[in-house]
Amino acid sequence: MTTEDLAGKPHKVWSCDRQTRKCVVASSLDELRTKGAAKLGYNNPFDLKVVLEEDGTEVEDENYFQRAERDTVFLMLQPNEKWLPPGVEALRAGEHLELQRENTCLYFAAFSGWKLHSQLARFV
């Protein structure tokens, strides 16, 4: 058993929107959840879903966590949040959609009715 096994490995924990990024050293999945929640300002660590940042795979197994590489990036999702691929928010912003936060990680709303109506009125 190495000292890293005892002390834990360094990992990165990010908020769902990828705006808040913290480093933690954890020797177990529960420790990652607890430390990650504290650093990200989340109240109940055991309500969080831990997923791989790169593809959204949920990490719920201690054996898998133990095999994760150093500096693996995990997203800590709150109960109403969902993983989205990196860059989706930038693509959506480029399509002129309004980005809103509403109890989910990212919630995209279309143009408001009046704006859409005014745009359509030009064609009538």
Give the β-pairing of 73-77 and 98-100: unpaired
Q: Please, what are the domains in the chain? A: 3-77 (3.10.20.10), 88-121 (no CATH)
41 φ, ψ to 5°? 80, 25
Give the per-residue pLDDT at 108: 40
Amino acid at 63: N
Full pLDDT tens readout for the chain, 124 residues: 555 556 899 999 999 999 999 999 999 999 999 999 999 999 999 999 999 999 999 999 999 999 999 999 999 999 999 999 988 765 655 554 444 444 445 444 444 454 555 555 555 5
Q: With beta carbons less than 8 A apart as the criterion, state whether 53 and 62 touch.
A: no
